[in-house]
Structure 1
Amino acid sequence: MSEPWLYPTVLLCIYGFFSSHRPLEAFLMPFLMGPDKNLTETEVVSEIYPLWTYSYLALLFPVFLATDYLRYKPVIILQAASYVVTYALLVKAQGLQAMQIVEVFFGLATATEIAYYSYIYSVVEPSHYQMVTGFCRSVTLLGSAMGSLLGQILFSVADIALFYLCVITLVSFCIAFVAPWFLPMPSKSLFFHQSESSSQDEAVLETVNTSPLIEKPEDPESNKQPNANEKTTLKSNTSSSGLLDVLKMLWTDFLQCYSSSTLLAWSVWWALSTCGYLQVINYAQALWEDILTSKNYDIYNGYVETISTLLGAFAAFVVGYVKVSWAVWGELALCIFTVVIAVCVYLMYAVRNIWVCYTSYIIFRAVYMLLITIATYQIAANLSMKRYALVFGVNTFIALSLQMLLTVIVVDSAGLHLEISIQFLIYASYFAAVAVIFFIAGLYKLFRSRTSGGQNELSSAEA
């Protein structure tokens, strides 16, 4: 091909589409509780689903390092294999322990997702980063929406049994499994294999800083350019680095990144909200099944997932053209939108009506995807690709750690083991607490800016 970036991008998009095309996923809870698996709600919610959270958290950091050390491609193949094993077990295996093993493999597949989004940066020129990232993210959203829509049509209109939706999903993963074998092997990576990485990182920094998608923070701390230490880090180690060197570099970068108050604020929201978001989407189907059982009524989970995915993608796209001084109003904006999220989750608990639940879920996902897009660009605005990968990994690790605590306390049979409806009351209260935190932070920032502004005027008058 005339364009060297096109071949790996096309293969990665093929993989992303088919690995996200999952007709069964919107009906996983009814499938597990139906005649094919014959599990109870308590077994699914309290003994099976928590295994995904625990395995994802346990594997995240080792996979993060292994992905970079192995240079992405083997880990993408591992992810594809994990998805195939997950759905092969769903098709053939029976019993509680078998489904727990399914969740462990699914946790491995989720943890290795970082390889999919990191690979492309090691094989294309920095000038194409923004474009290929858009392709890869868009095609996964398209695959997810089309999978949910196909699942709903086959289930409701064609009256296809959920077992065959599982088989179709397995076929999608088998097709996806083929694509990564043909990906070119990268010669470099962000941390362990760093030849040519300095030019890559600096070009990425320039690309992100000049991006028109989101207004950059105006806070002086967040606007600072890479200092001498960062540039030295980027330009040193032109050959492979050892594990100890990489860990030292990660720790140094971690301290420098989170010394920015703006980055810290957006990262705190990212971690706290992602924890609650994952918890809600993990157990939403259980709540819907509790309100309106699929054994006796028609359900429309697939339509809901399709609409929420497309609406969330549209909201994330539109926000790129909204000009707001996030450095000044960021915390209060996060507070207001988090209140909306809390209200949506509370309505899912309080109003025992499936249509209210569906609508609240759609708004919940759309608002979260809008805010996480803003947070992503605010965090990435002045970071090199290397530091962005670190911050993304740390934020995700904190979110999963909090989710594990929430799961152990609220969901797991070893904890309080609350009813599913009461769990959503807890999640609504959790988001309300997050909103209060950012309301206080926003008022404090406004008070500081007003005070500093008044002192500057007084100093000018005296001069």
Structure 2
Amino acid sequence: MSVLYPTLLLCAYGFFSNLRPSEPFLTAYLMGPDKNLTEAQVVSEIYPIWTYSYLVLLFPVFLATDFLCYKPVLVLQATSLVVTYVVLLKAQGLLAMQLLEFFFGLATASEVAYYSYIYSLVEPAHYQRVTGYCRSVALFGSAVGSLAGQLLLSVAKAQLRHLVIVTLASATLAFVVPWFLPMPKRSLFFHKSGERQRTISTSLTEKEDSESKAPLNSQEASTVSSCSGAQSQSSTPVEVLRMLFQDFLQCYRCRPLLAWSLWWALATCGYFQVVNYAQALWENIRPSTNHEIYNGYVETLSTLLGALAALLVGCLPVHWALWGELVLCVLSLLMAACVFVMVTLRQIWLCYGAYILFRATYMLLITVATYQIAASLSIQRYALVFGVNTFVALLLQSVLTVVVVDSAGLGLNVFTQFLIYGGYFATISAIFLIAGFFRLASRRCCEQEVLANGRVETESDSPPISDASSCR
């Protein structure tokens, strides 16, 4: 019962913080009469601020979340969302919208508190279940928000400004919830007990000697430490950073984890770019000033199909250890084809359909990558590896944004941008095609070597014919 109360509150927070009816129509709102911004300003000067702020804030917020024991960062995220939509509703001008993107980047970086808070309250045996609850509710809130926005726009004939008001009301409800959450008494990295500190020091020494002595999911790494208590011992930031760096080196020595993490970072970078600028592409193909748009239905359907694809992962009869790279190759190529369809055919319904398939494919693969990575990791390393993968994805996205999107770089039009994104996913497919063939060739060589060694051992165990004759 003590876990049920915070779980319900956290799910309520996840639902209302992701219920954003205005989000599928943000580009149309910014370029419409309410804000009167140009496409170049929205695409090249406003949206890139989210990418940059998310990248800069991710690691500091990650450390602050653990040091402050989650709840204060949840409050910070809720406050950032309220500020974001107040600015979106009331403020005017380019600078105000850039400030909005900064606060939204802060809110996005703070999501780590939402997904890790519950781990401080429940035992490891319940991690999978509560994670499923939190993620499912967040996806459901996003889908409901997109559908509500479309229905308000198409059926109730509401204005885009009204959708922003509903989103602000939902964010305000979400802001109230974290204040009632109990303050956690556990932490993953800071404030470890004396016994835990000695265990980690011993294990890190063993890691340097042999990888086999400290497996990625070792029991010592799965213990969650206490934030307070008579025997607690706080770790300094330097000690925590040293421990994280040691764990980082240990984790990425594992080849399968490295392969899945590489795909995670590369694909997430491209996914963010496509999703962030898809509305600008749709606005060029079917301007909202002249036609009714259906972005809300598209976002709802793509979210629900993505969630369904994620649920079906467990039913796929794929030997991921053997065929993982080739599956990543084929499905990355499918994602590239979806992007090329969106930009080359320029027919809105085909564009919508390709976008839905693109998002569903990504959600399926990211679920597989999450499972493959997490299967051999403790919860501490789970947070570390996922954080590093996201950071690398944002770093790549920032480079891509500076070169392709930002007015300080090439500042290309949206159609050229999407051609580059399609080529980007085709390149990812080629990388994993090579990796897949290399894996199969390595496996075949190993099998032949084992067979050859087996024959040698058999011959050495059998006595020579001449010796057998002499024995008679």
SS of the equivalent of 2:306 reads helix
* 2-structure distance, mates of 1:346, 1:355: 14
Alignment of 1:137-152 (within 5 A): 137-152=135-150
Partner of 2:274: 280
Seen in structure 2, the aligned counterparts of structure 1 residues 170 and 236 have a Cα distance that, compared at 3 Å, is closer
SS of the equivalent of 2:264 reads helix
* 2-structure distance, mates of 1:436, 1:195: 48
CA contact (8 A) 1:5 1:125 kept: no
> Which 5+ residue runs of structure 1 have no aligned equivalent?
203-222
Alignment of 1:32-181 (within 5 A): 32-181=30-179
Q: Shift of residue 240 of structure 1? A: 2.0
CA contact (8 A) 2:14 2:134 kept: yes
* 1-structure distance, mates of 2:395, 2:449: 42
Partner of 1:355: 349
Partner of 1:9: 7
* 1-structure distance, mates of 2:160, 2:26: 9
CA contact (8 A) 1:16 1:136 kept: yes
Q: Which moved more, 1:62-71 or 1:315-324?
A: 315-324
Seen in structure 2, the aligned counterparts of structure 1 residues 197 and 177 have a Cα distance that, compared at 3 Å, is farther
Superposed CA deviations along residues 331-351 of structure 1, whole A, max 9, x for unmatched, are: 000000000000000111101
SS of the equivalent of 1:149 reads helix
SS of the equivalent of 2:343 reads helix
* 1-structure distance, mates of 2:32, 2:195: 52
> Is the aligned partner of 1:241 residue 2:239?
no
The structure with more radius of gyration: 2
Seen in structure 2, the aligned counterparts of structure 1 residues 225 and 319 have a Cα distance that, compared at 3 Å, is farther
Seen in structure 2, the aligned counterparts of structure 1 residues 233 and 9 have a Cα distance that, compared at 3 Å, is closer
Equivalent pairs, count: 440
* 2-structure distance, mates of 1:9, 1:121: 10
Structure 1: which amino acid aligns with 2:191? H
SS of the equivalent of 2:421 reads helix
CA contact (8 A) 1:187 1:193 kept: no
Q: Shift of residue 416 of structure 1? A: 0.7
Q: Shift of residue 227 of structure 1? A: 3.7
CA contact (8 A) 2:221 2:380 kept: no
* 2-structure distance, mates of 1:102, 1:147: 20
> Which 5+ residue runs of structure 2 have no aligned equivalent?
201-210, 226-231, 458-472
CA contact (8 A) 2:30 2:37 kept: yes
Structure 2: which amino acid aligns with 1:179? V
Q: Shift of residue 140 of structure 1? A: 0.6
Partner of 2:466: none
> Is the aligned partner of 1:261 residue 2:259?
no
Structure 2: which amino acid aligns with 1:462? V
Superposed CA deviations along residues 115-139 of structure 1, whole A, max 9, x for unmatched, are: 0000000011222211111110110
CA contact (8 A) 2:217 2:377 kept: no
Seen in structure 2, the aligned counterparts of structure 1 residues 241 and 309 have a Cα distance that, compared at 3 Å, is same
Structure 2: which amino acid aligns with 1:56? Y
Partner of 2:410: 416
Seen in structure 2, the aligned counterparts of structure 1 residues 234 and 23 have a Cα distance that, compared at 3 Å, is closer
Paired-residue identity, %:
62
CA contact (8 A) 1:190 1:197 kept: no
Q: Which moved more, 1:186-195 or 1:42-51?
A: 186-195
* 1-structure distance, mates of 2:104, 2:224: 37
* 2-structure distance, mates of 1:299, 1:224: 57
* 1-structure distance, mates of 2:81, 2:132: 24
* 1-structure distance, mates of 2:67, 2:215: 26
Seen in structure 2, the aligned counterparts of structure 1 residues 225 and 30 have a Cα distance that, compared at 3 Å, is farther
CA contact (8 A) 1:224 1:382 kept: no
RMSD: 2.1
Q: Decide which of 380, 394, 415 is 2:374's aligned counterpart.
A: 380
Q: Shift of residue 458 of structure 1? A: 1.0
> Is the aligned partner of 1:343 residue 2:341?
no
Seen in structure 2, the aligned counterparts of structure 1 residues 192 and 424 have a Cα distance that, compared at 3 Å, is same
Partner of 1:400: 394
Partner of 1:209: none
Partner of 2:322: 328
